[in-house]
Amino acid sequence: MHDWTLDEFVVPEVEGKTRFHDFALPLPIMRAIDKLGYEYCTPIQSDALPFALSDYDVTGQAQTGTGKTAAFLIALLTRFWENPLQETPPLGAPRALILAPTRELALQIEGDAKALSKYMDERTVCVVGGMDMQKQRERLTKKPVDLLIGTPGRLIDFLNRNDVSLKHVEVLVIDEADRMLDMGFIPDVRRIVYQTPHKRRRQTLFFSATFNEEVMRLADSWTINPEHIVVEPEQVATDTVDQKFWLIGNKEKDAALLKLFAHAKTERAIVFTNRRDQTHRVVKFLQKQNIQCEALAGDIPQRKRLATLNRFKEGNLKYLIATDVAGRGIHVDGVTHVVNYELPEDPEDYVHRIGRTGRAGADGTSISFVAEDDAFNLPAIEEYLGMKVDCTLPDDI
């Protein structure tokens, strides 16, 4: 195979945009970036990379889907490339640790890490709950690991068994800190951070979608003079998502869903519900009507969820019925419709849901069913969006 050169990756300079070329990144990383089809940095990448690459601590306020994962991974991989170890490290002693609140996010970060390090001799291991612990242990103890990604509970399991040592961690990444707080993981995270080198002897990259007082306290205790970067959430991709709110009775939702799938050009759709029992009920109803769909909910085994998600990504499954817990890991281009079977109680979840469509510059449609039970959640969504929404009768599809 011929030696790849930067001449094969041409990205013109554009005023107001930052290219990955502008950071003098190692050639293997640039080659991976080229293969992934990236050209220009997202705002969080262009703002965070200069500091992360210069070993500064960073606190970043950014939503999921803004490109922050690539920002911290590129910084880590560059460090590995520019500072190769002179001797073989002990087993289970990573150079960098990334903590994520959910399995889905941890697995997604693992996939991104493998894609970005495709042309490097770098080893990533991911440890998460709900999956085979023995297999994860074998991967940890087989040969040295550069990058360890994990959820707090499972990582503590391995720390307790002395399968992992965090004494050699050069970079600590804490992702979605606000969700860690919401899910009650902070005592576990504190325990993990305490086992890494002192904050003066490691670099810390700390990300959160929101920075309230509690999150700020955590950031202050784990970082040293960080560069604080704020990327305002986009105005909910309103340019690419046609948002509709249908006034509808609770008992009319199933029929409306059927009609939508039968007549609209729903090439790939996600239907969101608020509870997993509702998710399973909708799946059962649709399957009885010979509509191929599957559920993504917290009570479904992780292996099955991953298989379902892969089928959806590959286009072998047209409809996903999901709760917000499962919906967090869905980053699939080509979703034409998002249906809020029920309006979420948290307006941020509404934004996250409809952001599953209208991705990568494509147009998308979100349809929210507003029944008597849902109407209570509408004012908070309007306030969050900063606009009044028009509720209409269902389209005569």
Residues 235/67, Cβ–Cβ less than 8 Å: no
Q: What is the pLDDT of residue 394?
A: 85
Q: What is the pLDDT of residue 92?
A: 94
* Averaged confidence pLDDT in the chain: 89
Domains of the chain: 6-230 (3.40.50.300), 241-392 (3.40.50.300)
Q: What is the pLDDT of residue 233?
A: 60
Q: What is the mean pLDDT of residues 298-324?
A: 86
361, pLDDT greater than 70: no
Q: What is the pLDDT of residue 1?
A: 47
Residues 147/96, Cβ–Cβ less than 8 Å: yes
Quick: pLDDT tens for 225-268: 999 999 876 555 456 788 999 999 999 999 999 999 987 778 89
Give the 3-state secondary structure of residue 97.
strand
End-to-end Cα, the chain, rounded Å: 54
Give the 3-state secondary structure of residue 125.
strand
* More reliable by pLDDT, 199 or 313: 199
Q: What is the mean pLDDT of residues 57-63?
A: 90
> What percentage of the chain has pLDDT greater than the value 70?
94
Q: What is the pLDDT of residue 19?
A: 93
Element (H or E) spanning 197, and its range?
A: none
218, pLDDT greater than 80: yes
* More reliable by pLDDT, 209 or 225: 225
391, pLDDT greater than 50: yes
Q: How far apart are CA 344 and CA 324, in angstroms?
A: 9
pLDDT tier for residue 2 given thresholds of 50, 70 and 90: low
184, pLDDT greater than 60: yes
Q: Look at residues 51, 349, 101 and name the one whose alpha carbon lies nearest to residue 60.
A: 51
pLDDT tier for residue 337 given thresholds of 50, 70 and 90: very high
Residue written as token pair 């606190």? 59
169, pLDDT greater than 80: yes
Q: What is the pLDDT of residue 226?
A: 95
* More reliable by pLDDT, 39 or 280: 280
Cβ neighbours for 66, distance < 8 A, ≥ 6 positions apart: 42, 43, 44, 231
Sign, CA torsion 389/360/267/324 = negative
Quick: pLDDT tens for 266-309: 889 999 999 989 999 999 999 999 999 999 887 887 778 878 88
183, pLDDT greater than 90: no
Quick: pLDDT tens for 139-151: 999 999 999 999 9
Q: Look at residues 242, 244, 252, 243 and name the one whose alpha carbon lies nearest to residue 373.
A: 252
Q: What is the pLDDT of residue 17?
A: 87
Residues 20/30, Cβ–Cβ less than 8 Å: yes
SS3 sequence of 306-355: HHHHHHHHHCCCCEEEECHHHHCCCCCCCCCEEEECCCCCCHHHHHHHHC
Q: How far apart are CA 255 and CA 273, in angstroms?
A: 16
Quick: pLDDT tens for 84-131: 999 999 999 999 999 999 988 999 899 999 999 999 999 999 999 988
Q: What is the pLDDT of residue 397?
A: 52
Which residues does residue 61 pair with via DSSP β-bridges, in sequence order? Answer: 208, 230
Q: What is the pLDDT of residue 11?
A: 87
